[in-house]
Amino acid sequence: MNTIKLYFRSMGMLVKSQLQYPASFCMQTLAQLVMEAGEMLAVILIVDRFERLNQWMPGDLFFFFGMMSVTFYLTEFFGRGVTGNFPSLVRSGQLDTLLLRPRGVLTQVLCSAIDPRRIACIAVGTAALVIGSRMSGVQWTFLKALAMVESILLGILLVLGLFLIEAVFSIHSVKSVELVNALTYGGRSACQYPIDIFPRPLRVLFTVIAPFALTLHVPAAYILGKPLYGWPDWTAFVTPLAGAALFGVMYLVFQKAMKFYRSTGS
Amino acid sequence: MSYIAVDGLDKRFTVRKKREKGILREKTVIHALQDVSFAVERGELVGYIGPNGAGKSTTVKILSGILTPDGGSVTVGGRVPWKERREHVRHIGVVFGQRSQLWWDVPILDSYSLLKDIYRIPENEYQRRLAQLTEALQLGDFLRTPLRLLSLGQRMRAELCGSLLHGPELLFLDEPTIGLDAVSKLALRDFLKEENRRNGTTILLTTHDMEDIAALCPRVMVLGHGKKLYDGALPELLSRYDTQRILTVRYEAEAGLPELPEGCAVTQEAGNYKITYAPEKMPTAQLISLLQSAGSIRELTAQPQNIDHLIAAMYREMDL
């Protein structure tokens, strides 16, 4: 419980730091808004051009876009310590400083940064979710709402887990940013569209290795009333656990990597 | 058992270097620490010196639980630092002269309040320590100023306060006076002495500033090439190398120096002659009468060798 309190206290302080530079903060938030609105524009153009993508109607596409946008940028908002620039923590020696305090390293990394500018992207994503569910005429039920909340929360764990891969590489002093970016930012770009429009290799990549399809698309398709691959409804509550599983595995790998770090030095 | 007990400490680093030709990288093993042993009792103030790359930081990193050694044993207060990292770091404080541990953009008081949560310091204990440290370090004027706006001297005081809030038994200081002006340096030394006296805090100080060591540490350890070369009092160490004196002479009229015996080195500087000699071979009285024979002397000053020169001579002799 104390850890959660520490996290929120840290967040309060980080917001204070950001507000030390109000003009910069506003400009950057605005830039984020323009950027994410541009992403959504791409969806609008596709919708405008094609009547449908496989079985997906325009409203469905907005909904998929919104799910990814909200999930990814909530992660960047609250988990900036992990998604930001972990390799620089290693290079600058800040990681040593964290080891000098009686707390877990990952806890402290999470407490070290947030990115409130992402609120703009989250707002765009939320708008896309509202528009999408209206256009597709989603009949909201308690179960559907539950599926959405579960999907987003576990999706956050998934994104954190993917960024932990980058962290582990940097601890082993391997430069691999491009490779990992393909999974994180690449995953975000690709999986804002439903998985079944992609060729097989990409479907495998984003189902087995970076399971965005399992965590976000299965529940989204269930909410839209068009189950992915015709899977039964209950799968929408089970497959998102893949996100938690990936995070769990990466958490253990990260702890192992920290052991390596402490035995090899910097 | 001693508070800090280090026995046969060993640490190697593998460094990969690019070969001049080709893409293969060569592995070289650097022996950062070899069979280092020492013991420190509670409440001691120990200076840890040695040239750059001697292994000082590696030792501190192992003692503070950041690094795992390759061999040997270490206990601090009965705990093995790298095995019980979290419990261990609760009882130590570390200050790096060149790296901040506080938050850059917020008032230092906010940083302290977050440290209170990180270390789980009880509220009344925190208030007591904070009041004590604020007074001793004279932080009152800038408690509500962001760290980035502080001068170097103020920042170092703020860092010290941050590392002492949780009442550590052991304090590591890495170059704490680097870049500080004379007044700040003296104030910092006084504070450290007082902290050691009042709270019985054990302090391990690594520095290149020999005056820090002379002013603070009754005991000094010298490290070179990963080995411990000396462990004892500073004056004793210096007396081994303190074999020379310097005599500066200025004549009334421009006069040439008389012929001096071998073993005297002379440098000339704006009409002053600086003579470095060994009193054991050339008694001072004899040298002075020799100088007087060349003309009437306006000014004559004698001084011991600078402490930095002695240390340099020591490093040279130890082949560091």
Q: How much is the pLDDT for A165?
A: 93
Q: How much is the pLDDT for B274?
A: 87
Contact present, B50 and B56 (Cβ < 8 Å): yes
| Residue A167 region by backbone torsions, left for phi larger than 0, else alpha for psi between -120 and 50, else beta | alpha
Of B313 and A242, more confident: A242
Distance from CA of A110 to the nearest CA of B (A): 13
Residue type, B94: V
Task: Please tell me the pTM assigned to this model.
Answer: 0.84
Domain span(s) for CATH 3.40.50.300 in chain B: 4-239
Q: Locate tokens 């909530």: which residue?
A: A74
Q: How many domains does chain A have?
A: 1
Mean pLDDT is highest, among A50-54, A176-180, B34-38, B293-297, for B34-38
- Residue ranges in chain A modelled with pLDDT below 70: 1, 174-176, 265-266
pLDDT tens digits, one per residue of B139-198:
989 999 999 999 988 999 999 999 999 999 999 998 888 888 888 889 899 999 999 999
Name the class of domain B243-304.
Answer: alpha beta
Name which of A60-64, A97-101, B10-14, B304-308 the model is least confident about: B304-308
Q: Which residues of A34-70 are buried (b: 16+ CB within 10 A; e: fewer)?
A: eebeebbeebeeebeeeeebeebbbbbbbbbbbbbbb
Beta strands per DSSP E along B241-307: 245-251, 265-269, 272-277, 297-304
Distance from CA of B165 to the nearest CA of A (A): 13
A228: helix, strand or coil = helix
Of B94 and B316, more confident: B94
Give the residue from B25, B56, B64, B66 with the most A CB atoms within 10 Å of its CB, the best one to mutate: B66
The closest CB to that of B119, out of A20, A102, A263, belongs to: A102
Element (H, E) at B183: helix B182-199
Domain that holds residue A144: 2-264
Confidence of residue B263 (pLDDT cuts 50, 70, 90): confident
Confidence of residue B290 (pLDDT cuts 50, 70, 90): confident
Identify any residues that bridge with B146 across adjacent strands, giving them in sequence order.
B107
Dihedral of alpha carbons B240, B229, B220, B182, sign: positive
Q: How much is the pLDDT for A265?
A: 63
Percentage of chain B lying above the pLDDT 90 cut: 47
Query: Do B117 and A20 make contact, defined as CB atoms within 8 angstroms?
Result: no
Task: Indicate the DSSP class of residue A206.
Answer: I
Q: Kindly report the average pLDDT of chain B as a whole number.
A: 88
Contact present, A164 and A171 (Cβ < 8 Å): no
Model-level ipTM above the cut of 0.85: no
Asked if the model's pLDDT at residue B18 lies above 70, the reply is: no
Of B224 and A245, more confident: A245
Asked if the model's pLDDT at residue B255 lies above 70, the reply is: no
A4 touching chain B per CB within 8 A: no
Interface of A with B in 19-58 (CB under 8 A): 20
Q: Phi and psi for B187 in degrees, rounded to 5?
A: -65, -40
- The angle subtended at Cα B142 by Cα B137 and Cα B144, nearest 5°, is 125
Residue length of chain B: 320
The correct CATH number of B4-239 out of 3.40.50.300, 3.10.20.740, 1.10.1050.10, 3.30.1520.10 is: 3.40.50.300
Q: How much is the pLDDT for B110?
A: 92
Q: How much is the pLDDT for B19?
A: 65
Contact present, A44 and B130 (Cβ < 8 Å): no
